[in-house]
Amino acid sequence: MKAQDDQKPYDDINITPMLDLAYVLLVIFIIMTTASVQGIKVNLPKASSAPSLAKPSTKAITIAADGQIYLDAYPVSMTELEDRLRQAQAANPDLPVVIKGDADVQYKKVIEVMDLLGRLGITQLGLVTQKIVK
């Protein structure tokens, strides 16, 4: 009769493996969250208020049909143009410049402006033209 008593069904659920798994997951969670917070302490440099990766602003020189020279839509003389371009070049040595000359302007004025840019050492130069529509 003792053999029948040994075969009685279990009334308890063995939760030991489930608790082992829960503890392992808890330990992994604690290690992962503290590992992402910790790190090597370094003294980071302070950034200036000016953005260092800013796109350089292009200066536009326009020569109207009457020979008047404009720098970014403001009328200037040749000496004022030279002074302002020197200031802009001091801030940005690779200053890009575009020249927009009217079709009726004397070619001499465009050459004078290009000569001025050459004296200042401005090498990034573009000439604006209009696309011909056929």
Q: Which pLDDT does position 25 carry in this prediction?
A: 93
- Mean pLDDT over each residue of the chain, to the nearest integer: 79
Q: How far apart are CA 80 and CA 50, in angstroms?
A: 26
Fold classified for 59-127 = Nucleotidyltransferase; domain 5 (3.30.420)
Asked whether residue 10 carries a pLDDT value surpassing 90, the answer given is: no
Better pLDDT: 100 or 1 = 100
Residue-wise pLDDT for 106-122, tens only, equals 888 888 889 999 999 98
Of 4 and 90, the one with more pLDDT:
90
- Residue spans of the domains in the chain: they are 59-127
Point out the least confidently predicted range of 34-43, 74-83, 96-105.
34-43
Cα 4 to Cα 1, 13, 121: the distances in Å are: 5, 21, 106
- Residue 7 pLDDT > 90: no
Tell me the percentage of the chain whose pLDDT exceeds 90.
17
124: left (phi over 0), alpha (psi -120 to 50) or beta: beta
- CB-side exposure of 114: number of CA atoms within 13 Å? 11
Q: How many whole angstroms separate alpha carbon 39 and alpha carbon 42? A: 9
Read off the pLDDT of residues 29-59 as tens digits, 9 standing for 90 and up: 888 777 655 555 655 566 666 555 555 588 8
Please, which pLDDT band fits residue 74 given cuts at 50, 70 and 90? Answer: confident
